Amino acid sequence: MASELSGRIWIKRFPDAGTTEALADGFRQNCQAFIAALQAAGASVDVNATRRPSERAYLMNGAWRIHNRMINPQNLPGKAGVDIEWVHRTAAGQIDLAASRAAAAEMVAAYGLAFFPSLSSRHIDGQAVDMSISWKGVLVIQDAGGVTRSIKSAPRTGMNPDLWKVGKTFHIVKHKTDRPHWSIDGK
Ligand SMILES: [Zn+2]
């Protein structure tokens, strides 16, 4: 079978599990307990990504690298089971860098990527979660040890360092710059 050109069509393939049920044993229970504590405190939690197939990680990584000109499409290694053609060509058969990069950019946007998607992402082994967290006013939350903590500081989102300390009691560690990303070790 012929391979298929890169572009938006790939986004729905090799989907993220999208549920904490798919996370690795141990991390899963900790993550669910942390989310339960957040919700009990009145915070809103939206889980966007959990366990990521390695094929999806490859597609995200390749699209990001081509879009950001870290590599030319003809030099990107393939991956078994992912029959994608990263190189778009002109009618005359020449490599069309602009079209190849535009297709990669389309994928980066459709995946919603804002941060370099690593090929060894903690998502692949179910040790990471992407979630949007927000609350109003003061967050009064019980940590994993049952201690009540009041978070008055800003921002009222997952980027709040006081919330990171609460996450740590559940062994859920915030990545410092990847906004929605929490994992077993912060990577
Ligand atoms: Zn993530």
Ligand 1 centroid from CA 113, angstroms = 10
Ligand 1 centroid from CA 73, angstroms = 25
pLDDT > 70: what percent of the chain? 99
**pLDDT above 80 (res 1):** no
**pLDDT above 90 (res 2):** no
pLDDT, average across residues 86-90:
98
Ligand 1 centroid from CA 52, angstroms = 9
Ligand 1 centroid from CA 54, angstroms = 14
Ligand 1 centroid from CA 39, angstroms = 20
Each residue's pLDDT tens digit, 7-47: 999 999 999 999 999 999 999 999 999 999 999 999 999 99
Q: Considering the chain, what is the average pLDDT of its residues?
A: 97
**pLDDT band (50, 70, 90) for residue 179:** very high
pLDDT at residue 68, rounded to an integer = 98
Ligand 1 centroid from CA 21, angstroms = 16
**C-alpha–C-alpha distance, residues 86 and 107, integer Å:** 11
Concatenated DSSP letters of the chain: ---EE-SGGGTTSS----SGGGSPTTHHHHHHHHHHHHHHTT-EEEEEE----HHHHHHHHHHHHHHTTSS-GGGS--BTTB-EE---B-TTS-B-HHHHHHHHHHHHHHHT--S---TT-TTTTT-EEEEEEE-SS-EEEE-TTS-EEEE--S-SBTT-HHHHHHHHHTT-EE-SSSTTEEESS--
Q: Which tokens belong to 118?
A: 């690593």
Ligand 1 centroid from CA 95, angstroms = 33
Ligand 1 centroid from CA 59, angstroms = 15
**pLDDT band (50, 70, 90) for residue 71:** very high
Ligand 1 centroid from CA 143, angstroms = 23
pLDDT at residue 161, rounded to an integer = 98
Ligand 1 centroid from CA 19, angstroms = 13
